[in-house]
Amino acid sequence: MNAKRTAEQKKTAVVTGAGSGIGRAVALELLRTGWSVALAGRRAETLEETAALSPEGECLVVRTDVSRPEEVTALFAAVRERFGRLDLLFNNAGTSGPGGVPFEELPYDAWRHVVDTNLNGAFLCAQAAFRLMKEQDPRGGRIVNNGSISAHTPRPLSAPYTATKHALTGLTKSLSLDGRAYGIAVGQIDIGNAATDMTERMRTGVLQANGEVTPEPVMDVADVARTVRHMAELPLGANVQFATVLATAMPYVGRG
């Protein structure tokens, strides 16, 4: 494929999980600052809502279940057809799984759903991005994986989510090495308590390690979006390997 960038071409990104929360915020930040963005997610209607929030931006909406290899292949084929190249994959799609279920009672199907989405989906999207970034001209690009504070320290009753986020850290490190030969930079952003629908319960109370249920502070999701854009816009000779962005007073550092 010959997809050599011209001086006037916009940079292009794929954002998975772009229909809500962090994915929507990052997509809108990129669109606001001149990127072309492919919006990927399971629900076409929420992707269209994201696109409508940035009417001047150049969007491509592709309904995608990242756990299905054929749908990921179709997503990146659509990106190649529409934009000709890929500069950024924000590997963001994820699910937390059932909340409050004791580990010994966790259904295997629930475990498998989290693994398929958070880990296998990230693998499939990164692999497709690698293939496109290797063959485009100029070669290379960047992948930013959405980790979590849970990639470092778990919450109670979070085995599926925590296991996949720890695994994602290993994937980030491995891909960072594998991408060097092709000008592909890979980093990870670990996020704590960004204010989204998923974290709404933090405001009213969430289970702590000592068994208490305590409200936790949250931060504006726009702060996460700006951080991802900073990572994305570095020259490929520089990389933010790991960034941790969290609500300042959340109980994570030390003893809270």
Active site positions, annotated: 161
Instruction: State how far the Cα of 249 lies from the Cα of 256, in Å rounded to an integer.
Output: 7
**Which amino acid is located at 29 in the chain?**
E
User: Under 8 Å CB-to-CB from 99, ≥6 apart: which residues?
Assistant: 157
In angstroms, the Cα distances linking 212 to 30, 92, 159, 215 are: 39, 30, 19, 10
DSSP β-bridge partners for residue 61: 39
- Coil, strand or helix: which one is 175? helix
Give the long-range contacts of residues 59-62, CB within 8 A, separation 24 or more. Answer: 59/31, 60/36, 62/38
